[in-house]
Structure 1
Amino acid sequence: MSSNDDRIAQAERHFGVRFPEDYRHFLAAEGSMARFVPPAGDFLVINSLAELIEVNEAADFQERFPRSVVIGGDGSRELLTYDFRQEPPSLVLLDVSAEGWSSAIQQATSFSALLEQFPETGWKWDEPEPSPS
């Protein structure tokens, strides 16, 4: 196992989840991303492994959103978050000041789908999705 694989496994243990394979592959191969994405015209940030725990511990995010893992965002107030309350986990957008899951805006069913659609769609700003029961 490479040191990067070890760090991915440590992050998974910290959050008590197993990251989806496409996201694990991104972390191992790319590590992180922060760029303006044309033609959508939106900024996309995917945090590095070193940033994951710190970002998720900020503002009691884990307490407000149990079974969540913030993996990035728009470089400002919006946080790209895995919703591990369901299997497979989907990716949602949450404002840093959101109080609960009812504020989540569905972005993609997988990390690969997000990266594929993002250049065309950018961030989706639709009404929040209803919470799963």
Structure 2
Amino acid sequence: MSSSDDQIMQAEHRFGVRFPADYRYFLATEGSLGRFVPPADDFIMINSIEELIDVNEVGDFQERFPKSVVIGGDGSREMLTYDFRQEPPPLVLLDVSAQDWSSAIHQAASLSSLLEQFPETGWRWDDPEPSLTTAR
């Protein structure tokens, strides 16, 4: 189910951010996503707008990762997260047990880029990029 502009604006207000245009478009047209993506054969999940607040309030995520907004994940322990410490905010993976940004693993500069590359690359498990771990 897609999201209304009002729901999107309410979520932005709740988190004190303006979502990137491609994510806003995704929410308005697709709403959510959950599936295995061939040929990478990795599972990707993007939460619906209704799930955002609950997902972000679990496990002190906002306290451990200031200026973050979790939008999905791998269906297990890894949380797909916007890093709003940067402009534009990149997407990173953070394990649910991570204590700070030093564990962030860069995935893509935008949701569009992630969805485009995902069938070939799946999740990236490289070392965290230094620019993502620097506190701002």
Normalised by the length of structure 1, the TM-score is 0.97
Counterpart residue number, 2:38: 38
CA shift, 1:132, in A, is 3.2
Counterpart residue number, 2:14: 14
Alignment of 1:132 with 2:134, yes or no, is yes
The 2-side partners of 1:60 and 1:40 are apart by: 32
| Unaligned runs of at least 5 residues, structure 1 | none
Q: Percent identity?
A: 76
CA shift, 1:129, in A, is 1.6
**Count of paired positions:** 131
Give deviations 1:87-107, integer Å, cap 9, x for gaps: 000000000000000000000
Amino acid corresponding to residue 15 of structure 1 in structure 2: F
| Unaligned runs of at least 5 residues, structure 2 | none
The 2-side partners of 1:56 and 1:30 are apart by: 20
Amino acid corresponding to residue 100 of structure 2 in structure 1: G
Counterpart residue number, 1:56: 56
The 2-side partners of 1:14 and 1:116 are apart by: 29
Q: Where do 4+ consecutive residues of structure 1 move more than 2 Å?
A: none
Amino acid corresponding to residue 127 of structure 1 in structure 2: D
Counterpart residue number, 2:70: 70
Alignment of 1:113 with 2:128, yes or no, is no
The 2-side partners of 1:64 and 1:122 are apart by: 26
Amino acid corresponding to residue 79 of structure 1 in structure 2: M
Across the aligned residues of Structure 1 and Structure 2, the Cα RMSD in angstroms comes to: 0.9
SS in 2 for 1:126: coil
SS in 2 for 1:44: strand
Amino acid corresponding to residue 69 of structure 1 in structure 2: V
Give deviations 1:12-60, integer Å, cap 9, x for gaps: 0000000000000000000000000000010000000000000000000
Counterpart residue number, 2:23: 23
Normalised by the length of structure 2, the TM-score is 0.94
